[in-house]
Protein backbone atom coordinates (compact mmCIF):
# COMPACT_ATOMS: atom_id res chain seq x y z
CA UNK A 1 0.00 0.00 0.00
CA UNK A 2 1.27 3.46 -0.92
CA UNK A 3 1.98 6.11 1.65
CA UNK A 4 -0.40 9.12 1.53
CA UNK A 5 2.62 11.40 1.25
CA UNK A 6 3.75 9.55 -1.89
CA UNK A 7 0.31 9.94 -3.47
CA UNK A 8 -0.12 13.67 -2.82
CA UNK A 9 3.06 15.37 -4.03
CA UNK A 10 2.34 19.09 -3.54
CA UNK A 11 -0.44 21.67 -3.63
CA UNK A 12 -0.74 23.71 -6.80
CA UNK A 13 -0.84 27.40 -5.91
CA UNK A 14 -1.97 29.61 -8.78
CA UNK A 15 -4.46 32.44 -9.17
CA UNK A 16 -7.12 30.04 -10.43
CA UNK A 17 -6.59 27.58 -7.60
CA UNK A 18 -6.82 30.37 -5.02
CA UNK A 19 -10.17 31.44 -6.47
CA UNK A 20 -11.40 27.83 -6.27
CA UNK A 21 -10.62 27.69 -2.54
CA UNK A 22 -13.61 29.97 -1.95
CA UNK A 23 -15.77 27.18 -3.42
CA UNK A 24 -14.14 24.52 -1.17
CA UNK A 25 -12.08 23.13 -4.08
CA UNK A 26 -8.36 22.46 -3.70
CA UNK A 27 -5.78 21.58 -6.34
CA UNK A 28 -2.93 19.08 -5.89
CA UNK A 29 -0.27 17.42 -7.97
CA UNK A 30 -0.64 13.70 -7.34
CA UNK A 31 1.06 10.44 -8.29
CA UNK A 32 0.44 9.55 -11.91
CA UNK A 33 -0.71 6.02 -11.06
CA UNK A 34 -3.06 6.97 -8.19
CA UNK A 35 -6.80 6.56 -8.64
CA UNK A 36 -9.57 8.74 -7.20
CA UNK A 37 -10.23 6.51 -4.19
CA UNK A 38 -6.55 6.53 -3.20
CA UNK A 39 -6.39 10.32 -3.59
CA UNK A 40 -9.49 10.78 -1.42
CA UNK A 41 -8.10 8.53 1.32
CA UNK A 42 -4.68 10.25 1.20
CA UNK A 43 -6.17 13.76 1.54
CA UNK A 44 -8.34 12.69 4.49
CA UNK A 45 -5.31 11.06 6.14
CA UNK A 46 -2.88 13.95 5.65
CA UNK A 47 -5.28 16.76 6.60
CA UNK A 48 -7.21 15.77 9.73
CA UNK A 49 -10.80 17.01 10.01
CA UNK A 50 -11.23 17.11 6.23
CA UNK A 51 -14.01 15.22 4.44
CA UNK A 52 -13.72 14.83 0.67
CA UNK A 53 -16.90 15.03 -1.36
CA UNK A 54 -15.53 14.56 -4.90
CA UNK A 55 -12.22 14.13 -6.73
CA UNK A 56 -11.63 15.08 -10.36
CA UNK A 57 -8.36 14.24 -12.09
CA UNK A 58 -6.53 15.45 -15.19
CA UNK A 59 -3.56 13.79 -16.90
CA UNK A 60 -0.92 16.01 -18.49
CA UNK A 61 1.68 14.85 -20.98
CA UNK A 62 5.14 16.36 -20.66
CA UNK A 63 6.16 18.98 -23.15
CA UNK A 64 8.88 18.40 -25.71
CA UNK A 65 11.91 20.55 -24.90
CA UNK A 66 15.01 21.46 -26.84
CA UNK A 67 18.42 21.38 -25.18
CA UNK A 68 21.86 21.97 -26.54
CA UNK A 69 22.34 18.20 -26.65
CA UNK A 70 19.21 17.45 -28.66
CA UNK A 71 15.57 16.96 -27.79
CA UNK A 72 14.09 15.76 -24.55
CA UNK A 73 10.75 15.56 -22.79
CA UNK A 74 9.46 16.82 -19.47
CA UNK A 75 7.81 14.33 -17.15
CA UNK A 76 4.11 13.42 -17.42
CA UNK A 77 2.04 14.39 -14.37
CA UNK A 78 -1.44 14.29 -12.89
CA UNK A 79 -3.53 17.04 -11.29
CA UNK A 80 -6.41 16.45 -8.88
CA UNK A 81 -9.23 18.86 -8.01
CA UNK A 82 -10.52 17.90 -4.55
CA UNK A 83 -13.95 19.19 -3.47
CA UNK A 84 -14.64 19.20 0.26
CA UNK A 85 -18.00 18.83 1.97
CA UNK A 86 -19.72 21.89 3.47
CA UNK A 87 -19.15 20.76 7.08
CA UNK A 88 -15.48 19.99 6.48
CA UNK A 89 -12.62 22.05 7.88
CA UNK A 90 -10.56 24.16 5.48
CA UNK A 91 -7.08 23.07 4.40
CA UNK A 92 -4.42 25.54 5.50
CA UNK A 93 -1.50 25.82 3.05
CA UNK A 94 0.25 28.63 4.91
CA UNK A 95 0.35 27.75 8.60
CA UNK A 96 3.12 30.20 9.45
CA UNK A 97 1.52 33.27 7.90
Q: Which pLDDT tens digit goes with each residue over 19-54? A: 999 999 999 999 999 999 999 999 999 999 999 999
pLDDT value, residue 70: 96
- Write down the pTM of the prediction: 0.88
Count the Cβ atoms, other than its own, within 10 Å of residue 80: 24
Q: Which of 59, 45, 49 is nearest to 90 (CA)?
A: 49
Residue 24 has φ and ψ, to the nearest 5°, of 65, 35
Cα four-point dihedral sign 78, 81, 85, 91: positive
Give the contacts of 82 (CB within 8 A, at least 6 positions apart).
25, 26, 27, 28, 39, 40, 43, 52, 54, 55
Burial class (CB in 10 A: 0-12, 13-18, 19+), 73: exposed
Amino acid sequence: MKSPYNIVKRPIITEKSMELIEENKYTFEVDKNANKAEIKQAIETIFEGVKVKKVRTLNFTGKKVRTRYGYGKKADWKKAYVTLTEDSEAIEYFDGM
